[in-house]
Structures are given as C-alpha cells and as structure tokens.
Amino acid sequence: MRFAIGKQNRDYLIEQLDKALESTPVVEVTISDPAPEKMPMLALWRSWMDSTSKWINQTKSARKIIEAGGRVYEYDFNPEDAHVFFTNARIPNGANGRRKSWALRASKNGVEIATRGERYHALEQHQAWMIDRCIPHINPASSEYRDAYMEQNT
C-alpha cells in the first residue's frame, strides 16, 4: 500500500497500519519529505560571506586601520564586512554610482536592485575565488544558484 498523508487522513493511515500489524509483526514504513525549498541566491551568498570572513580571520588577513598618529588597530573581518566588500568587488555599481542591493524588491530609499544575472555572476566569481583558496563552502543541489548554473550550462 502507498499513501499520501495529510492532517485530514492521518487517522486512516493509523487504521491501515493497525490492520497490517494484525497479520505481520513488522510493517515497513517509508516517509519522504516534500520537495525541499530552493536556497535563494542571497542566502547562499550570506553563507559564503560567513565562510569567507572565517577564512580571512584564520589566515590573519584581518583588516588593519592605521590612524594619522601611526597607531595600528586590527579587527576581525565579519560576514557583513565580507558582504559589503565582495558585493562592491563582484557586482557593478548602479546608475547612481551606489552599490546595488541583493534584495528582490526595490525599497523606498532608491537603492538599485542587482539583476538575477548579476547575482549569479557574483556567486560564480566568488565560488571560483573560494575554490582557488581552498575555502570550505556549501553548494546545495537545491538552490537558485544551481538552477541558474544548469540554465547556463545545458
């Protein structure tokens, strides 16, 4: 028997399992989750910025600030620093000269939104950069980035 179970018919499944257990001591049941949600490009980018900032800090590539008096301050490169830095490096500025946003909808403050192609290209470039440096990172099979990759390469 095979069932698709929801809240409305779960009691029926239990009845069927009870009936089956009357004739056999063990019933094998397989439960599969619904299709997983695809990871959005922004979520993947943020994950990679976390991996990148950890690598930068581990390799002592921390940012240094030198004051006019010659004092040097060093601080950890956090994921937000990585997001701003690498977005500026990987996505061209908007027509207004400001950094484009990874948001999917325009906000009220006039920030220009990066296109899907620009976001894909930024991820592609950054992944190559991470691979060159052996930075561990995730690349889920079910993601918006993987879908765009398949569209480009099939």
pLDDT tens string 16-60: 888 888 998 888 887 776 666 789 999 999 999 999 999 998 887
pLDDT in tens, 106-152: 766 778 899 999 999 999 999 999 999 999 999 998 899 999 999 98
Whether pTM > 0.85 for this model: the answer is: no
Read off the DSSP letter of residue 107.
Answer: -
Cβ atoms 140, 48 nearer than 8 A: no
Cβ atoms 102, 76 nearer than 8 A: no
Within 10 Å of residue 4's Cβ, how many Cβ atoms? 6
- Going by C-alpha positions, the residue among 34, 45, 40, 32 that lies closest to residue 142 is 40
* CA R_g for the chain: 24
User: What CA–CA distance (Å, rounded) separates 90 from 4?
Assistant: 45
Q: Given this model, what pLDDT does residue 114 score?
A: 94
